[in-house]
């Protein structure tokens, strides 16, 4: 909690200074730099989104359509990641919270004969 407060303290102070200016800062920003910054940010967001969509879609299409050296290994690695990452998260959750994870609890209930809707 203390670390979160230390991280949020500078952000809160900047927000406080922005919300309660001593001079007419917002009028000056609106007339000088804010329109340019907002338009640059919008163009950057659109460009990054389009580039990420194009490269991600293109890479996915290439992987699905063509067989290349090492594709079986990459396919196995992808399946292993999907299969085992959730188990790793559950084990970490169980160890951090000092309680059984959802899958362990469900397994225990299924083997005990108690009817459970999973």
Per-residue pLDDT tens over the stretch 13-52: 989 988 888 888 888 888 999 999 999 999 999 999 999 9
Asked if residue 61 is part of any domain, the answer here is: yes
Asked if residue 8 is part of any domain, the answer here is: no
Split into its structural domains, the chain has a count of 2
Asked if residue 88 is part of any domain, the answer here is: yes
**H or E, element range at 70:** none
Please identify which residue in the block is written with the tokens 């917002």: 26
Asked if residue 59 is part of any domain, the answer here is: yes
Asked if residue 84 is part of any domain, the answer here is: yes
Per-residue pLDDT tens over the stretch 71-90: 777 777 767 766 666 655 56
Asked if residue 106 is part of any domain, the answer here is: yes
Q: Which domain holds residue 98?
A: 69-111
SS3 23: coil
Asked if residue 6 is part of any domain, the answer here is: no
Asked if residue 17 is part of any domain, the answer here is: no
For the whole prediction, is pTM greater than 0.75? Answer: no
């Amino acid at each position: 909690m203390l670390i979160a407060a230390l991280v949020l303290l500078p952000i809160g102070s900047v927000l406080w200074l922005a919300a309660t200016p001593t001079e007419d800062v917002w009028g000056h920003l609106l007339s000088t730099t804010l329109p340019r910054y907002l338009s640059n940010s919008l163009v950057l967001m659109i460009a990054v989104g389009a580039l990420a969509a194009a490269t991600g879609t293109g890479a996915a299409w290439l992987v699905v359509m063509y067989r290349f050296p090492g594709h079986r290994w990459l396919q196995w690695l992808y399946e292993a990641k999907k299969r085992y990452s959730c188990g790793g998260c559950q084990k970490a959750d169980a160890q951090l919270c000092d309680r059984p994870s959802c899958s362990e609890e469900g397994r225990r209930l299924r083997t005990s004969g108690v009817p459970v809707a999973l």
